[in-house]
């Protein structure tokens, strides 16, 4: 497919072609380039069309409707999201806006009344009464304000927890294919600034400013409407400046996203226990520090430029505000001299002016901040849309089950080819393969020949780029993931143990069955070891969670990963180098245990120790992603191909060392 045809496809559904063309100049062309580059190597597949649709959808969402329509939609979306996350937060925001809006107005008018009562020489008791009412109301407002603030802080914390959970769930649900997709990681980072709690805090401030503004307008309108109009006109400059400032902030934040990801990585590596050994052995601290300084230098130079612009904007804003204030003071003083207003009114007007100045500085800043959150909401929606479209594997048909005859099944690889995302190398090349119920298959080949990749496809971490894998004729893509993952148990080559108890690492959240548990730890060779521990299977691993956490030896870690799969008790077992860390005795024992357990099941063994895979019913030899040999050990030895060569080298090595 040519670049032009691809681009034409991209433009379908888009109402604003010209805008899309502009967009294409930037992001579009990069993606189209990537896509057409890829096409040179692989025949078009469904994944490509998916990718295309995601992109088209993104562009379409970005450009449909006017900017104001979009802003309004995002604003409504933000309210809905806030309502969904915390209704209490909206309620508190509404109360806060009323209380914080009224308090300064009450202060201004209250002071005016007290001064007026003094000037008009009311009895002292009346004056004291006014003061008491004034102070009492103020106190009540302050106490209520403090309580509202307190509830607000707690609810904000809760909101952040809900949001964090949402992001974590997204990471778990997104198809494995995209876990490290840089464009999604970037978008995720940016979208985090669309925080409903901050938005509501801004909206609450906004409403209180409106209340204060209404009060001030009322006070000033008693004087002169022209005066009011003059204030509105001069505040125009403040608006422009504040918006310019926010735009600079938004751009600066976006510019730094990549740098910040780098810093986060270096921080995690330098402070993480997992990397500590490697850093010390290789003296990698200096390298990391150097990288950190480079990124910091970059951020700092951007930050300096940003600060310079910001200072210029702030200073201009302050000068304009000071001039505005001076004019108002001068005008009011003139009115007093001219006997047009009383001293009490003068005090009220000065108070109102001070409040107005305050509002002029903060109000538009507040609007700009809301505007910024709306912009981030746009990114958040884009992120959510991407996540939704890229979580198809995990989320589709979650609770459904389809009928599969598990007593008599066949897994078939039909012309399967695979290329990792954003790479060009064909890692699996037109594989055809059948695995029947009860088969014990050995998978061997040199490093990088594609063995682990093959099981990544079998376990649906990735979809084949070309061809398909079927189970009893059903494309495994169409089997509900939960059902499918119950069916396959796998010990990964790079398995991971969690910093929780041994039991949790084996059982996870499946129902606990003592008998099954003991069987698993016995067969994996961990029974005596776990028995010797003070807290037995309740012992924590590593130190992240528990200070007494256990640091397992490499071999015991591998046994634990095997116990995990035994407890899962799936029908199809896959072992990717399951014994690479075991001592010779443990390895020998483990292989026989695994063979016995796999007797009534289907199994796939990957191992570089060919003496272990020798006993498999069938052995597949992979070379550069191609299946070059297939048969029993005896058949393959007779063929005198790669398998024969590898086996002989290993066998001779042992014989030589033994003699
Ligand atoms: N996530 C990935 N992204 C891009 N390329 C990858 C990725 N994982 C593996 N590869 C590449 O795919 C090829 C096959 O890797 P794979 O891990 O399947 O080999 P293997 O046969 O399991 O090797 P080994 O015996 O060393 O475990 C290699 O060239 C590797 O560099
Ligand atoms: Mg491997």
For residue range 492-519, what is the model confidence (pLDDT) as tens digits?
888 889 989 999 999 988 889 999 999 9
Tens of pLDDT, residue by residue over 175-211, are: 887 777 777 888 888 888 888 888 999 999 999 999 9
Protein residue whose Cα sits closest to atom 8 of ligand 1? 453
Domain boundary among 32, 47, 63: 63
Question: Does residue 41 lie within any of the structural domains?
Answer: yes
Nearest residue to 560 via CA among 535, 546, 544, 540: 540
Give, for 485, the enclosing helix (H) or strand (E).
Answer: helix 481-487
Question: Does residue 616 lie within any of the structural domains?
Answer: yes
Ligand 1 neighbourhood includes 292 CB (under 6 angstroms) = no
Ligand nearest to the CA of 424: 1
Contact partners, residue 269, CB within 8 Å, separation at least 6: 275, 279, 288
358 pLDDT higher than 50: yes
- 226-243: average pLDDT: 76
Tens of pLDDT, residue by residue over 32-42, are: 555 555 444 44
Question: Does residue 643 lie within any of the structural domains?
Answer: yes
- 425-453: average pLDDT: 92
Q: How far apart are CA 523 and CA 78, in angstroms?
A: 54
Q: How far apart are CA 113 and CA 495, in angstroms?
A: 76
Q: How far apart are CA 204 and CA 152, in angstroms?
A: 11
Going from the Cα of 265 to the center of ligand 1, the distance in angstroms, rounded, reads: 23
Of 570 and 653, more confident: 570
Going from the Cα of 646 to the center of ligand 1, the distance in angstroms, rounded, reads: 20
We report the CATH number of the domain holding residue 581 as 3.40.50.300
**For residue 583, which phi and psi values (nearest 5 degrees)?**
-70, 165
Q: Are 205 and 362 in contact (CB under 8 A)?
A: yes
Ligand 1 neighbourhood includes 452 CB (under 6 angstroms) = yes
Protein residue whose Cα sits closest to atom 28 of ligand 1? 448
Cα dist. 553→281, 526, 582 in Å? 18, 12, 10
Question: Does residue 154 lie within any of the structural domains?
Answer: no
Ligand nearest to the CA of 425: 1
Q: Which of 423, 448, 491 to mutate to test the pocket of ligand 1 (most atoms within 8 A of CB)?
A: 448
Confidence of residue 341 (pLDDT cuts 50, 70, 90): confident
Confidence of residue 172 (pLDDT cuts 50, 70, 90): confident
Of 360 and 411, more confident: 411
90 pLDDT higher than 50: yes
Ligand 1 neighbourhood includes 493 CB (under 6 angstroms) = yes
Distance of CA 582 to the CA centre of its chain: 37
Ligand 1 neighbourhood includes 580 CB (under 6 angstroms) = no
Question: Does residue 263 lie within any of the structural domains?
Answer: no
Q: Pairing between strand 618-623 and 626-631?
A: antiparallel
Q: How far apart are CA 23 and CA 35, in angstroms?
A: 17
Domain boundary among 63, 84, 111: 63
Q: Is the dihedral of CA 532, 537, 542, 544 positive or negative?
A: negative
Ligand 1 neighbourhood includes 427 CB (under 6 angstroms) = yes
Ligand nearest to the CA of 451: 1
Domain boundary among 46, 63, 80: 63
Q: Is the dihedral of CA 18, 23, 26, 31 positive or negative?
A: negative
Going from the Cα of 431 to the center of ligand 1, the distance in angstroms, rounded, reads: 16
Q: Which of 452, 604, 622 to mutate to test the pocket of ligand 1 (most atoms within 8 A of CB)?
A: 452
Q: How far apart are CA 64 and CA 596, in angstroms?
A: 61
In ligand 1, the atom with minimum distance to the C-alpha of 608 is: 25
Three-state secondary-structure class, residue 618: strand
Tell me, what's the pLDDT at 477? 84
223 pLDDT higher than 70: no
In ligand 1, the atom with minimum distance to the C-alpha of 449 is: 21
Tell me, what's the pLDDT at 1? 44
Question: Does residue 219 lie within any of the structural domains?
Answer: no
Tens of pLDDT, residue by residue over 611-655, are: 778 788 899 999 999 999 999 989 989 988 898 988 888 777 655
**For residue 469, which phi and psi values (nearest 5 degrees)?**
-115, 130
Ligand 1 neighbourhood includes 463 CB (under 6 angstroms) = no
Ligand 1 neighbourhood includes 444 CB (under 6 angstroms) = no
Ligand 1 neighbourhood includes 423 CB (under 6 angstroms) = yes
Distance of CA 133 to the CA centre of its chain: 53
Domain that holds residue 586: 410-658
Going from the Cα of 608 to the center of ligand 2, the distance in angstroms, rounded, reads: 10
Protein residue whose Cα sits closest to atom 30 of ligand 1? 448
Of 471 and 232, more confident: 471
Ligand 1 neighbourhood includes 176 CB (under 6 angstroms) = no
Question: 3-state SS string over 171-228?
Answer: HHHCCHHHCCCHHHHHHHHHHCCCCHHHHHHHHHHHHHHHHHHHHHHHHHHCCCHHHH
Tens of pLDDT, residue by residue over 42-63, are: 444 555 556 666 666 666 566 5
Protein residue whose Cα sits closest to atom 6 of ligand 1? 420
Question: Does residue 125 lie within any of the structural domains?
Answer: no
Give, for 410, the enclosing helix (H) or strand (E).
Answer: strand 410-419
Q: How far apart are CA 524 and CA 563, in angstroms?
A: 5
Confidence of residue 119 (pLDDT cuts 50, 70, 90): confident
Question: Does residue 284 lie within any of the structural domains?
Answer: no
Ligand 1 neighbourhood includes 612 CB (under 6 angstroms) = no
Nearest residue to 460 via CA among 470, 445, 450: 470
Q: How far apart are CA 470 and CA 477, in angstroms?
A: 8
Tell me, what's the pLDDT at 60? 58
Q: How many structural domains comprise the chain?
A: 2
Going from the Cα of 464 to the center of ligand 1, the distance in angstroms, rounded, reads: 15
Protein residue whose Cα sits closest to atom 19 of ligand 1? 448
Three-state secondary-structure class, residue 429: strand
In ligand 1, the atom with minimum distance to the C-alpha of 445 is: 21
Distance of CA 654 to the CA centre of its chain: 50
Confidence of residue 16 (pLDDT cuts 50, 70, 90): very low
Protein residue whose Cα sits closest to atom 31 of ligand 1? 448
CA angle 618, 622, 628 (to 5 degrees): 80
If you write DSSP's letter for every residue of 63-130 in order, what string do you get?
HSS-HHHHHHHHHHHHHHHHHHH-HHHHHHHHHHHHHHHHHHHHHHHHHHHHHHHHHTT--HHHHHHH
Tell me, what's the pLDDT at 42? 45
In ligand 1, the atom with minimum distance to the C-alpha of 625 is: 14
Tokens 């001064």: give the residue: 115
Ligand 1 neighbourhood includes 358 CB (under 6 angstroms) = no
* Other CB atoms within 10 Å distance of the CB of residue 275: 14
Give buried/exposed letters for 602-639 (b at 16+ CB in 10 A, else e). Answer: bbbbbbeebebbbebebbbbbbebebebbbebeebeee
Ligand 1 neighbourhood includes 179 CB (under 6 angstroms) = no
Ligand nearest to the CA of 426: 1
In ligand 1, the atom with minimum distance to the C-alpha of 180 is: 1
Going from the Cα of 327 to the center of ligand 1, the distance in angstroms, rounded, reads: 73
Going from the Cα of 461 to the center of ligand 1, the distance in angstroms, rounded, reads: 14
Give, for 436, the enclosing helix (H) or strand (E).
Answer: strand 426-436
Ligand 1 neighbourhood includes 448 CB (under 6 angstroms) = yes
């Amino acid at each position: 497919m040519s670049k032009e045809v691809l681009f034409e496809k991209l433009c379908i559904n888009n109402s604003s072609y010209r805008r899309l063309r502009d967009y294409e100049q930037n992001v579009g062309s990069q993606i189209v380039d990537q896509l057409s580059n890829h096409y040179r190597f692989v025949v078009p597949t469904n994944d490509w069309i998916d990718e295309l649709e995601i992109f088209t959808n993104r562009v379409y969402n970005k450009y449909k409707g006017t900017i104001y329509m979009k802003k309004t939609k995002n604003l409504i979306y933000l309210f809905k999201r806030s309502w969904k996350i915390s209704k209490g937060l909206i309620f508190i925001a509404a109360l806060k806006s009323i209380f914080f809006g009224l308090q300064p107005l009450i202060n201004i008018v209250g002071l005016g009344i007290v001064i007026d009562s003094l000037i008009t020489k009311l009895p002292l008791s009346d004056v004291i009464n006014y003061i008491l009412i004034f102070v009492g109301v103020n106190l009540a407002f302050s106490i209520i304000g403090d309580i509202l603030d307190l509830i607000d802080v707690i609810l904000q914390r809760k909101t952040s927890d809900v949001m964090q959970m949402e992001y974590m769930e997204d990471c778990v649900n997104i198809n494995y294919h995209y876990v490290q997709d840089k464009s999604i990681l970037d978008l995720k980072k940016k979208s985090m600034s669309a925080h409903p709690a901050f938005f509501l805090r801004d909206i609450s401030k906004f409403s209180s400013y409106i209340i204060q503004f209404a009060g001030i307008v009322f006070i000033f309108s008693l004087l002169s409407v022209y005066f009011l109009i003059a204030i509105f006109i001069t505040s125009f400059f403040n608006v422009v400046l504040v918006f310019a400032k926010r735009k600079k902030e938004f751009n600066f934040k976006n510019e730094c996203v990549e740098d910040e990801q780098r810093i986060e990585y270096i921080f995690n590596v330098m402070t993480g226990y997992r990397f500590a050994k490697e850093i010390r052995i290789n003296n990698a601290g200096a390298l990391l520090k150097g990288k950190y300084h480079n990124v910091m230098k970059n951020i700092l130079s951007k930050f300096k430029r940003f600060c310079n612009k910001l200072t210029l904007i702030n200073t201009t804003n302050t000068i304009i505000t000071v001039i505005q204030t001076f004019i108002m003071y001068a005008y009011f003083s003139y009115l007093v001299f001219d006997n047009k207003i009383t001293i009490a009114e003068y005090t009220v007007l000065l108070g109102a002016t001070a409040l107005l100045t305050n509002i002029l500085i903060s109000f538009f800043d507040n609007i700009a901040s809301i505007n910024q959150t709306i912009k981030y909401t746009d990114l958040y929606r884009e992120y959510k849309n991407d996540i939704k479209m890229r979580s198809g594997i995990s989320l589709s048909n979650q609770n459904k089950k389809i009928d599969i005859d598990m007593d008599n099944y066949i897994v078939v690889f039909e012309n399967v080819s695979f290329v990792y995302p954003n790479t060009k190398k064909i890692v699996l090349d037109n594989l055809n393969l059948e695995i029947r119920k009860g088969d014990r298959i050995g998978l061997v080949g040199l490093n990088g020949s594609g063995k682990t990749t093959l099981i990544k496809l079998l376990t649906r971490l990735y979809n084949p780029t070309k061809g398909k894998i079927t189970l009893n004729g059903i494309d495994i893509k169409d089997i509900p993931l939960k059902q499918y993952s119950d069916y396959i148990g796998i010990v990964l080559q790079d398995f991971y143990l969690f910093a929780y108890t041994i039991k949790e690492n084996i059982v996870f959240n499946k129902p606990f069955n003592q008998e099954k548990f003991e069987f698993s730890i016995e067969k994996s060779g961990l029974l005596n070891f776990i028995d010797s521990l003070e807290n037995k299977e309740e012992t924590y691993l590593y130190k992240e969670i528990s200070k007494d956490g256990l640091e397992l030896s490499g071999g015991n870690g591998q046994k634990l990963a095997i116990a995990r799969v035994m407890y899962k008790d799936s029908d199809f077992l896959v072992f990717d180098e399951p014994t690479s860390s075991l001592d010779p005795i443990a390895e020998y024992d483990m292989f026989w245990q695994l063979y016995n357990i796999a007797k009534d099941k289907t199994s796939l063994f990957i191992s570089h120790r060919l003496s272990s895979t020798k006993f498999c019913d069938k052995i597949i030899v992979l070379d550069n992603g191609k299946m070059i040999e297939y048969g029993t050990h005896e058949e393959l030895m007779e063929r005198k191909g790669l398998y024969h060569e590898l086996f002989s080298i290993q066998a001779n090595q042992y014989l030589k060392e033994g003699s």
